[in-house]
Amino acid sequence: MALLDAVKVYLGIEDKLQDALLSTIIQDQSVRVQQYIGEDSVPLELSWIVQELSVIRFNRIGSEGTSSDSEEGRSASYIEDPFQSFIPHLDRYLEKQQRPVSKGKAKFL
């Protein structure tokens, strides 16, 4: 199943009206994963991360910059960057590939 189709299933979307938006979100999240692992494409075993990140991003449209939301008795709190919660999985992938794991950032002045 293609990532677009999988994301649509998770979101309960059956038409094609939001395909362009969802495809853009999937592409953006794929690039984030690719940059982190240093590869030109997302390996099949990591595609679930792109799928999850895409669903999270889609569900946050309209609430960018919000850390919590409450409406009619329903409330939600958002972690700042959901990508951070997937880093341990990405690091395990890199370790299995015998590649260095990113441990932080260096700043040169």
Comparing 45 with 102, the larger pLDDT belongs to 45
pLDDT, tens only, 2-53: 999 999 999 999 999 999 999 999 999 999 999 999 999 999 999 999 999 9
Please check the confidence at residue 106 and state whether its pLDDT lies above 70: no
Per domain, the residue ranges of the chain are 3-61+82-96
Instruction: Specify the residue for token string 């370790």.
Output: 95
Can you give the pLDDT at residue 98? 87
> In the structure, what pLDDT confidence band is assigned to residue 103 with cuts at 50, 70 and 90?
low
Give one DSSP letter per residue of 21-80, joined into a string.
HHHHHHHHHHHHHHHHHT-SS--GGGHHHHHHHHHHHHHTTT-TT-SEEEETTEEEE--S
Q: Is the dihedral of CA 80, 85, 90, 92 positive or negative?
A: positive
Can you give the pLDDT at residue 17? 97
